[in-house]
Structure formats: structure tokens, C-alpha cells
Amino acid sequence: MRLDRFLAARFPDWSRSKLARGIKNGEVCNASGKRLRASLTVREGMVLAVSIPGLAPTTPQPPLPPVLFEDDDVVVLNKPAGLSCHPAGGNFEWAVIGLARERWPGIDLVHRLDRDTSGVLVLAKHIEANRLLKHQFKHAHPDKSYVALVRGDYAVSGLIDAPIDYGTSVIRIKMAVVPGGPEAQTTVTPREVRTAGGVTLTWVDCELHTGRTHQIRVHLAHTGLGIVGDRMYGVPPEVFLTAWEHGVDANVVRTAGAPRQALHAHRLAFDLPSGGRTEVVAPIPQDMARWWADPSVLPMDGWSPDAQT
């Protein structure tokens, strides 16, 4: 297939004229950096370096997240908030998997964390390790513990056993507690409540027994007031829709209560492919530590308990 036709098929949301301009401007090269012509025949195994603005990342490449554990089969990283695990949608962006493959070619994700969730992330160095770990994560449910900062005085403690499936929200990807849906179980333990400047937060430890999409976020919003900074759960749908269509601005942050959801994958214990068991802990990130130390620094305006509906 010709290069221009290949790019048009690979990126259907982009106009062919813009892709053609990018090729003409030398923004599509081979692995050696040689500029390519639109008429070039693209063949299996060929590497294309695309730097068309908007299609390719326009920000500097971030560093590889800190390594918490590594052996011959596994790498465990401390993923920062704001970094996706894998590129999604029509545009590429910097993501953990691309950064990791520069250091460990052939590495792959065992599981994922939401873009704005920080903490322990496991990757497998080869196919067999990936197969073993994914089977374990799906069927044996490794020991996963998260820390969340919940808005208000969160009082629920113990096992939340509430099935989760796609809901009826105008947000197509939003999950909800749905009777008859796939089982979802989370043990929640409120540790402390702190108030400053009229802002109240609860430190909550969460242990996952299943691995449903957005499970902790759904369960906490269903039983309480939601995680501070969450733009999808516990706030009106307009918050997420505005952020999706126009970006995260000051109004979105004020309504959500924080620049990102205060959820951190703190600890993970799992069986290694080589035998034995390891436990990995990711330190509480600086932003969450600062919010907890002084909740008054959070811009929690424009929110009311009715928002969670």
C-alpha cells in the first residue's frame, strides 16, 4: 500500500490533505530518519517515524517511571498520575509502554491503571511471563491495596459487594453498580478524617478482590461522596464532558475538587513466574501527600452532595 493511503487508513479521523502535507514537509521518516515520499510502498515490518504536529506528541518525552522491582521476567514501575499506560484514540501520546520498550524491547503490560491513577504497575518482559501473570491477575486476584482521598466524612467500612457494569449515563464509558452485572468486591477501611479551611477529606484504604473497570471509583461514589478530583464519578456528567471536549480548565478542577483523582495503587503482592512471591510498595505521591497535609489547598468550589446523582 502507498504510504499516503496507509496513513489515511491508519488515522481515519485525520484529513488526507493534512497527512499529505506532513509527508511533503518531511514529517514521516523511516527508522534511519530518511524522509519518505507519499508513493513509497509500505511493507510488513517497516518502522515509520511520524512527527506530524497534533498526531504525534508535541511535548518533551517524559522519563521512564521509577523501577520498584525487576528480575528476568518482570518489571514493576511506579506510574505517575497523568501518564497513560497505553496510547488510546486517534492521536498518539507518551505512554508507559512506549517508554518501557525503549529500555526493554518486547515488554508488555500485565494490567493497567487509569491515566490519573498513580502507583504500582506490572509489566512482563516476555510472552510466557505475560501469560502466567495475566492468568494470575484474572483468576487468583493478587493482593492489591489502594489509597484514596474521599471528599467529606466517609463512614462506610468493610466489604462492598456490588456488581459493576456499564450504566445508563450520557457518558458512554461510565460504569455503575448494576444489579445482575459482573461481581465486584472491594474492602474499604476509612483511616482518618481531616478538615482544614472548610474542606473535609477522608483517608481510605481499599483492597481489591476483583478487577472491574473503575471499581474503586464506582464503589466509593456509590457508597459515599466519591474520590476528590474524580471528573467522572460523584460529580455531574458535565464535568467529564467539558474536560473531554475542551480540556481540563480551572472550572473543571474546582468542581472536581482537585487536578486529578486522588487514587494511588499503593501495594501489590503477587507470585513471580520464576517462583516465590514479592510485595511491592509505591510511596504516596507528593500531590496526594500535600492535599492530605492541608486539605484547604484544594479548590473544592461549586460542588454539592446532589452532584453524585
> For 56-92, how does the pLDDT look when each residue is reduced to its tens digit (9 = 90+)?
777 889 999 999 999 999 999 999 999 999 876 555 6
Distance CA 103, CA 125 (A): 11
Cβ atoms < 10 Å from Cβ of 43: 7
> Model confidence at 142, in pLDDT bands (50, 70, 90)?
confident
Percent of the chain residues topping a pLDDT of 90: 81
Partner residues linked to 56 by β-bridges: 53
Q: Three cell numbers at 122?
A: 506490572
Distance CA 255, CA 219 (A): 20
The whole-number average pLDDT for the span 267-293 is: 97
The answer to whether the Cα torsion of 29, 30, 34, 38 is positive or negative is: negative
Q: Three cell numbers at 292?
A: 492530605
Partner residues linked to 50 by β-bridges: 28
Q: Among 54, 6, 59, 1, which residue's Cα sits nearest to residue 27? A: 54
Please give the model's pTM, rounded to 2 decimal places. Answer: 0.85
- Alpha-helical runs (H) found in 142-300: 215-223, 237-246, 250-256, 286-293
> Model confidence at 244, in pLDDT bands (50, 70, 90)?
confident
pLDDT exceeds 50 at position 37 = yes
Cβ proximity of 44 and 16 under 8 Å: no
- What fold, for 67-308? Pseudouridine synthase (3.30.2350)
Reply yes or no on whether 271 is catalytic: no
Marked catalytic residue, from 4, 108, 114, 230: 114
Cβ proximity of 76 and 68 under 8 Å: yes
Domain range list for the chain: 3-50, 67-308
> Model confidence at 11, in pLDDT bands (50, 70, 90)?
confident
Segment 180-202, tens digit of pLDDT:
999 999 999 999 999 999 999 99
Distance CA 306, CA 181 (A): 25
